Structure 1
Amino acid sequence: MRFAILFVLPFTVAACDLPEPSETLISDQSRVSPAYRAGFDDGCHSGRQAAGSIFDDFRKDQTRFNSDRDYAQGWSDAFRQCETQEEAVQRRVRSAATIDAINQSRGNQFDRVLSGIDYSGLENL
């Protein structure tokens, strides 16, 4: 469990000061409209939240989504991409916590097996 906490802590601190998703996930070279970027930002936050992120919230301007093709496309593209990325992060955190719990329980089983056994005579071997 300690490993999982140490693994998650840097993400927790960093999440407070992250740039908008379009600034990091859309290349500076790509020529996308401001509407696509806005949709991408909203969709990415929504996708992360849907996958379990506690740092993101659902964002979707439904009126704009229905009337602005670029906003809708950016939102949809980002939702799928960011949801998948967040699910991968969540799986890694769960895996790290599971591995840590298994390692801790193995140590405890070994200690239980040796409890009550006098092995002080083995120290001179």
Structure 2
Amino acid sequence: MRYLLTVIPVALLAACDLPEPSETMISAQANVSPSYRQGFDDGCHSGRQAAGSLFDQFRKDLARFNSDREYAQGWSDAFRQCETQQEAEDRRIRSAATIDAIQQTNDNRFDRVLRGIDTSGLEGL
């Protein structure tokens, strides 16, 4: 629980200050068209939302997707990539919460075992 009280506010603050996906995942020097870059940006938001992100919305210009190959390619590339990244991040957070819960349980169990036992002679060890 203590972990969640720390992680949730940090995640919320971090999400508010994230740059657009196309700015972080496609370098300025990349040889991609503005159409691809826009498709990538839309696809990344869509992929994150599909993976469960609360901070992204599904974006897809369907008419442009059907008529502009570069937009469609950028959207498709980003959707898969960002969906996978979001799922990995969610797994990492769940794993950290599980590890924290296990450690707290083990700490409590150790305290219960030692309850009532004089451990003052162990201080020098």
Q: TM-score range by the shorter chain?
A: 0.7 to 0.9
Moved more, 37-46 or 8-17: 8-17
Aligned to 1:114: 114
Secondary structure of the residue that 2:17 maps to in structure 1?
A: coil
Aligned residues: 122
| Structure 1 unaligned blocks of 5 or more | none
| 33 and 118 in structure 1: CA distance in 2 versus 1, 3 angstrom threshold | closer
Shift of 1:9: 3.4
| Structure 2 unaligned blocks of 5 or more | none
Shift of 1:4: 4.4
Q: State the Cα deviation string for residues 62-84 of structure 1 (Å, max 9, x = none).
A: 11111111110000000011111
Paired letter, 1:66:
N
Does the aligned pair in 2 maintain the 1:4–1:93 contact within 8 Å? Answer: no
Residue 120 of structure 2 is aligned to residue 123 of structure 1: yes
Aligned to 1:104: 104
- Percent of pairs with identical residues: 69
Shift of 1:54: 1.0
Secondary structure of the residue that 2:11 maps to in structure 1?
A: helix
Moved more, 97-106 or 79-88: 79-88
Kindly report which structure 2 residues correspond to 1:1-125, keeping only aligned pairs within 5 A, or say none. Answer: 1-115=1-115, 117-119=116-118, 122-124=119-121
Does the aligned pair in 2 maintain the 1:49–1:58 contact within 8 Å? Answer: yes
Q: State the Cα deviation string for residues 71-108 of structure 1 (Å, max 9, x = none).
A: 10000000011111111111110010000000000111
Shift of 1:45: 0.4
Q: State the Cα deviation string for residues 21-61 of structure 1 (Å, max 9, x = none).
A: 11110011112111111110000001111111111111111
Shift of 1:114: 3.1
For normalisation by structure 1, the TM-score amounts to: 0.87
For normalisation by structure 2, the TM-score amounts to: 0.87
User: C-alpha distance in 2, partners of 1:83/1:124?
Assistant: 56
